[in-house]
Amino acid sequence: MPTLLHNGPILVDDAFHDDLAVVVEGDRIAAVAPASVLSVAFPEAEIRDLNGARLVPGYIDTQVNGGGGVLFNDAPTLETIARIGAAHRRFGTTGFLPTLISDDLSVIDQAIDAVEQAMLEGVPGVLGIHIEGPFLNVARKGIHDPSKFRTLDDEAVRLLTRMKTGRTLITLAPETTTPDMITALVADGAVVAAGHTDADYPTVRAAMDAGVTGFTHLFNAMSPLTSREPGVVGAALESQTAWCGIIVDGHHVDPVVLKLALRCRPADRFMLVTDAMPSVNAPHLGDGDDHFYLQGRRISVKDGACLDERGVLAGSDLDMAAAVRNARDLLGLDLATAVMMASAAPAAFLGLERKRGRIAPGLAADLVILDEHFTAIETWIDGASLRNGA
């Protein structure tokens, strides 16, 4: 039976509309039009009154290391993926890429198998995999274990591109490989982003010409913009077409720096990401409920930041609902733009703009109902709804 959602602001493209309603039928959005029109066109539809709550597209997070007390690297299995997805769904995440940070090729192989199985069995929200490393630069290693780093060779390319369901996002340092290798990855269907890189501007530009279309957590773990060397940051800000992931948690990047970045390039080429760790929606973290372990290192969670014993940031304690609120409150964006950066922008980056990321007829019924505090109170993934607390 179709469901007709009405009586609340609905985000269509770049604006909220009070006079529209949405019909969900099966796993798709069947129609978007005034409620008076849709009630005639779909007389059998179940009527859902939003009671003034906002209806927005579901959030898509391209960088999710963990959640619900589990980390993908620790156990790259279907069960881990399902638990991570469930933990983030309550915050409006209706699509995500389980993210594996630098590890052995055998672990990458296992992670790919797990994601394929999760998609085959219909685990809600799984859109593919993000393999972040191990083809990175030790000079910008961040929290990654440099003992896992290796050269990108033909064997690795075959492994990285073997998944034919969903999307494969690969973060690499362009200076550690060649444009030909990047082209080979893209030709086999991968989406490639630059990250954990100390490359100079010409190297980044050559990588972009070869197929790099994104930058992983802009400003973090990359060569900065300086007066005589634009670096990775300069290349990213100059580009008007590449997508930049940003972690808006108040810890990774100062809000003033992000405001300046937003003035350099189109807003729809920025994506909100969480880089989330197991602490997000975790039932427990450890003996004191304030830490977890990452590849043997103790990571403390305090005031929303995840830090190792040296004070190095280790992912985040951020969820997508908080990222949207922070984009509004810390960066001064209107809610429609903040939501777009959490939905339509990442969908386009992954090449899924014709399938999801917006409220439009024919697209996946991935939706979020927000209360007056912009908290997700109900999510729909492929037409299946779940209320928080249910």
The CATH number that applies at residue 43 is 2.30.40.10
Q: Which DSSP category does 224 fall into? A: P
Q: Which amino acid is residue 322, in one-letter code?
A: A
| One domain, residues 109 and 204 | yes
CA 193/CA 132 separation, integer angstroms? 9
Q: From the CB of residue 159, how many other CB atoms can be counted at a distance below 10 Å?
A: 15
| One domain, residues 98 and 86 | yes
Are residues 108 and 152 in contact, defined by beta-carbon separation less than 8 angstroms? no
The token duo for 242 is 């590449």
CA 132/CA 37 separation, integer angstroms? 47
User: Phi and psi (nearest 5°) for 119?
Assistant: -70, -40
Are residues 172 and 216 in contact, defined by beta-carbon separation less than 8 angstroms? no
> Which pLDDT value is given to residue 388?
80
Helix (H) or strand (E) segment spanning residue 384: strand 384-387
| One domain, residues 150 and 295 | yes
Here the CATH number for the domain that contains residue 232 is: 3.20.20.140
User: Phi and psi (nearest 5°) for 210?
Assistant: -85, -15
| One domain, residues 318 and 329 | yes
| One domain, residues 147 and 26 | no
| One domain, residues 81 and 207 | yes
Rg (CA), the chain: 20
Are residues 53 and 12 in contact, defined by beta-carbon separation less than 8 angstroms? no
The token duo for 311 is 């004070």
| One domain, residues 162 and 109 | yes
Q: How many domains does the chain have?
A: 2
CA 303-307-309 angle, to 5 degrees, is 125
| One domain, residues 133 and 171 | yes
| One domain, residues 91 and 209 | yes
| One domain, residues 363 and 309 | no
What's the Cα-to-Cα distance from 227 to each of 230, 234, 257, 258, 378, rounded to whole Å? 7, 10, 16, 19, 48
Are residues 359 and 10 in contact, defined by beta-carbon separation less than 8 angstroms? yes
| One domain, residues 130 and 197 | yes
| One domain, residues 365 and 280 | no
Which range marks the domain in which residue 109 is found? 58-349
Long-range contacts of 75-81 (CB under 8 A, 24+ apart): 76/100, 76/107, 76/110, 76/111, 76/114, 77/110, 77/114, 78/114, 78/117, 78/118, 78/121, 78/123, 80/114, 81/114, 81/115, 81/118, 81/123, 81/126
> Which pLDDT value is given to residue 290?
85
Q: Which residue has the tokens 């773990």?
A: 221
CA 251/CA 303 separation, integer angstroms? 10
Q: Which DSSP category does 225 fall into? A: P
Start-to-end C-alpha separation, the chain? 21
The one-digit pLDDT tens for each residue of the chain (390 residues) are 999 999 999 999 999 999 999 999 999 999 999 999 999 999 999 999 999 999 999 999 999 999 999 999 999 999 999 999 999 999 999 999 999 999 999 999 999 999 999 999 999 999 999 999 999 999 999 999 999 999 999 999 999 999 989 999 999 999 999 999 999 999 999 999 999 999 999 999 999 999 999 999 999 999 999 999 999 999 999 999 999 999 999 999 999 999 999 999 999 999 999 999 999 999 866 544 589 999 999 999 988 899 999 999 999 999 999 999 999 999 999 999 999 999 999 999 999 999 999 999 999 999 999 999 999 999 999 999 999 865
Beta bridge partners of 387: 378
Are residues 131 and 108 in contact, defined by beta-carbon separation less than 8 angstroms? yes
CA 312/CA 306 separation, integer angstroms? 8
Q: Would you call 74 exposed, middle or buried from its count of C-beta atoms within 10 A (0-12, 13-18, 19+)?
A: middle
Active-site residue, selected from the candidate residues 198, 249, 275, 317: 275
Q: Is-catalytic flag, 289?
A: no
pTM for the complete prediction? 0.97
> Which pLDDT value is given to residue 283?
80
The token duo for 135 is 């083809």
Beta bridge partners of 193: 171, 214
Q: Which amino acid is residue 266, in one-letter code?
A: P
